[in-house]
Structure 1
């Protein structure tokens, strides 16, 4: 099945289909498609995993580290004193990052699609590292706000771009596990930020800069160094991947065409408009906001719980890592099971339950040990819903341009939950808001799950009424609907 290189610009081939826009005519007789056994498929997936996942997980880890190091509770007090912050100043500094993050996400994914992941991820990671380094030179609250705003704009494309990039290589029910691994590896690494901050604290006074400034500078420089490598270690797509053999190129092409058959990959404004008109994406945005609010809230509250348990400072840092370790293990297992069972919404509803119970424990007592146990439940419930949620949304958007925009919309605007969490009280009232958010997320997932089941059934019934099945639907019939994306009659939603 041929593809149209000119439709993509610069020889860059976008995700999911190699079949593109050149589809068979009515006189075309398709040759038999090659088949690949489970052993060769497993070998191919292992090769993809080792060549793709570690480095893009490192990119996300550095981006997450740069955006969250300001909440390191060892440095916050000194930071507030040095910059003469008072009242809600600190909350404003936290929150201002997220609107600019949201604004950047959509254009960033479109640029990634146009010029290629290796170049674009290199550029925005470099910009993130530079912003982070310069944050170490701020001397006033006003300049901190400017730095946080620019950092949000620079970083806003990294996580949406990574999620979009994963869809270039993996089928719909392989992507959930990979997204879970990337999220877990990065989040677990950031959990050690307190220990890193403790080591860097000994640099306070060097060059006339406080320890918090050196934290920003060194982490920013590390991000810049890795950004230099991105151009050479990120592969733009399966067609140009040097680590794949010729037979593996063929296997990749066949697998992805079968997974998302015959949908247009053209870079056209109508597909961008289609994303903005799709109400389902807005439901996923609301679900994401409801998940990210408690996610950022527990990041802020957990150090306070542990600190109140009166452990020594170095041991306190390890105590904040323990819930994250459990949460990341559960996240990876959940991603694996979600892929194997081909279900998304049911697991998101399931994981809302322990998160709600965890917050109930937190507000029902002032015993820090019980609250600490509640934190395990919260993190074990909230963490898995981040990658499952983005996988669910990405799985249900047909056509690469619409998918690029839809993923960016969900992640970008979903992170506005960080604005809400920044102004939540750090005690019981904030936990009640988080319970409300998780409850709303549960019912939104239930609504979406039931709707998608009904819609799949409706499309099956319409096809049966015409005496057709998905298996008997010809390439010519699919081509007639190739511009409809996920509205095509042969598209079936992940539920």
Structure 2
């Protein structure tokens, strides 16, 4: 990451700023000059100066607007994803309370199959879902999906056999397909790269909170065992599903849309946000008509595949922990109720740590070393769980803390780093969905590497998680070297000639392919 710019670059920076100020915001869809100002990595002082000038130009209080955007964007979608993740992984809490026994799931792999069937529609429809999100307004599509999967979760509490459980899990995956890629896509359209990480991590912390709340709610549901003739594991699905449906209705009126359409900001605030983002990422071309050819072109980008492999390596261990942490903790010899309680604390630590690490990452405007550090912490946690004897309860429980802290801090860092290096609505829409889609294939893997027959050591699952976390770190190094080389070529002007041969429209839609766009690491 460049920390300063030479004198010639400063002249280019100033010239770009003056040119940008002469451009009309209403005509910027036909202009690709907006990132000329930041074609060479500016210093923090230069960024601050330009943003102050923009705020004065549009008569905006920057701090007040930032707080309003955080409150109206980050908090609602964090609540949304908390509910989604809660309804997704609460099956692990139900399993502790005897779900498999009551549904006569006698084969060892039936529980794992119930987990994996969720990922079939979840993986297949993530990219199409982001297209729907773009065509409809985000608050319409996301709230519709959350109300639907809340209702399905309630239905899961009334299943009477294994087949019915599989059906509800399939449709739960179908309706949750919009949540993760849709929320990340929406987040990426509101924030600059130098301010995004703590928002991404705050949002992602909702997964850790969901794990904690899941254990807490499951603990409370123990007292409802037999109430209205229903077992306590059924009440987990019913109560959490009812909460989701209620909040889904509320979120229809609260969830934000894209900055170009959002109603909670004024026109001058909208103009400021759009121009602020264009300095960092170029013109978003939000108003443009969807063209499948341009969307498909994103798949030719090597960075997309590297980012997807990074996320895949992380997600196997992450879902493995989310679905099987309760089983691992129960193997320590705890009762079902104590298992629910002890499962809470690693999630709480992961939530707090993730946000703190993200704040440091944003402060230093650096991603790679933080992803490396958190990835190594996760590997250490898996190694402790793998290497310690089942009787070493305290050491293995400590390993759970390291796994949760490492993985659930690393994943938002990776997602923010890689997705924010794509610019423009087309490229953000496709890249965000595909990275999550490809990565979630790891969810399928994770459900079949932690088998009941491997308890209490779960050697197969833990060793696979270690290997794939290491694989993720290697892919991250390749990604880092690739964008460092690309930045060097762009600063040398090696990409300019090819870019100049493009039509005016293609240049306007180039996004991060514009040679003046500098990748962050």
User: For residue 158 of structure 1, what is the aligned residue in structure 2?
Assistant: 179
User: For residue 481 of structure 1, what is the aligned residue in structure 2?
Assistant: 507
Aligned to 2:359, what secondary structure does the other structure show? helix
Matches of 1:109 and 1:169, distance apart in 2: 16
The superposition leaves residues 312-364 of structure 1 with CA deviations (integer Å, 9 ceiling, x where unpaired) of 66554333222222222221122222223232233212211111112221222
1:304/1:441 Cα in 2 relative to 1: closer, same or farther (>3 Å)?
same
Matches of 1:150 and 1:74, distance apart in 2: 19
1:331/1:283 Cα in 2 relative to 1: closer, same or farther (>3 Å)?
same
The superposition leaves residues 386-429 of structure 1 with CA deviations (integer Å, 9 ceiling, x where unpaired) of 11111122112222122111111111221121111111135122
User: For residue 447 of structure 1, what is the aligned residue in structure 2?
Assistant: 478
Q: Does 1:276 align with 2:324?
A: no
Q: Check whether the contact 1:344–1:388 (CA below 8 A) recurs between aligned residues.
A: yes
Q: Does 1:323 align with 2:346?
A: yes
Matches of 1:444 and 1:345, distance apart in 2: 12
User: For residue 388 of structure 1, what is the aligned residue in structure 2?
Assistant: 413
Q: 1:460 aligns with which of 482, 491, 494?
A: 491
Matches of 2:503 and 2:428, distance apart in 1: 22
User: For residue 6 of structure 2, what is the aligned residue in structure 1?
Assistant: none
Matches of 1:178 and 1:272, distance apart in 2: 26
Aligned to 2:293, what secondary structure does the other structure show? helix
User: For residue 449 of structure 2, what is the aligned residue in structure 1?
Assistant: 424
Q: Does 1:436 align with 2:484?
A: no
Q: What is the TM-score normalised by the length of structure 2?
A: 0.83
Aligned to 2:343, what secondary structure does the other structure show? helix
User: For residue 55 of structure 2, what is the aligned residue in structure 1?
Assistant: 36
Q: Check whether the contact 1:73–1:303 (CA below 8 A) recurs between aligned residues.
A: no
Question: Where do 1:95-106 residues align within 5 Å?
Answer: 95-106=116-127
The superposition leaves residues 419-462 of structure 1 with CA deviations (integer Å, 9 ceiling, x where unpaired) of 11111135122211111001101100001001101100111001
Aligned to 1:440, what secondary structure does the other structure show? helix
Question: Where do 1:134-213 residues align within 5 Å?
Answer: 134-213=155-234
Cα deviation for residue 463 of structure 1 reads 6.4
Q: Check whether the contact 1:97–1:152 (CA below 8 A) recurs between aligned residues.
A: yes
Q: 1:354 aligns with which of 377, 380, 398?
A: 377
Q: What is the TM-score normalised by the length of structure 1?
A: 0.87
Cα deviation for residue 194 of structure 1 reads 2.2
Matches of 1:218 and 1:200, distance apart in 2: 9
Q: Does 1:374 align with 2:399?
A: yes
1:385/1:151 Cα in 2 relative to 1: closer, same or farther (>3 Å)?
same
Cα deviation for residue 41 of structure 1 reads 2.4
Matches of 1:3 and 1:139, distance apart in 2: 59
Stretch deviating more after TM superposition (300-309 or 253-262): 300-309
Q: Check whether the contact 2:32–2:508 (CA below 8 A) recurs between aligned residues.
A: no
Q: Check whether the contact 1:345–1:448 (CA below 8 A) recurs between aligned residues.
A: no
Matches of 2:158 and 2:339, distance apart in 1: 29
Cα deviation for residue 3 of structure 1 reads 6.7
Q: 2:99 aligns with which of 46, 53, 78?
A: 78
Q: Check whether the contact 1:122–1:227 (CA below 8 A) recurs between aligned residues.
A: yes
Structure 1, unaligned stretches of length 5 or more? 5-17, 25-31, 467-472
Cα deviation for residue 247 of structure 1 reads 3.6
1:134/1:258 Cα in 2 relative to 1: closer, same or farther (>3 Å)?
same
Matches of 2:94 and 2:161, distance apart in 1: 20
Aligned to 1:192, what secondary structure does the other structure show? helix
User: For residue 127 of structure 1, what is the aligned residue in structure 2?
Assistant: 148
Q: 2:29 aligns with which of 20, 33, 42?
A: 20
Matches of 1:144 and 1:21, distance apart in 2: 52
Matches of 2:425 and 2:79, distance apart in 1: 25
The superposition leaves residues 278-314 of structure 1 with CA deviations (integer Å, 9 ceiling, x where unpaired) of 2321221111111011112223443344335455665
Cα deviation for residue 76 of structure 1 reads 5.0
Matches of 1:311 and 1:60, distance apart in 2: 30
Q: Check whether the contact 1:74–1:197 (CA below 8 A) recurs between aligned residues.
A: no
Q: Check whether the contact 2:87–2:241 (CA below 8 A) recurs between aligned residues.
A: yes
Q: Check whether the contact 1:3–1:22 (CA below 8 A) recurs between aligned residues.
A: no
Question: Where do 1:3-14 residues align within 5 Å?
Answer: none
Aligned to 1:196, what secondary structure does the other structure show? helix
Stretch deviating more after TM superposition (234-243 or 90-99): 234-243
Cα deviation for residue 128 of structure 1 reads 1.1
Cα deviation for residue 114 of structure 1 reads 1.1
Stretch deviating more after TM superposition (81-90 or 217-226): 81-90
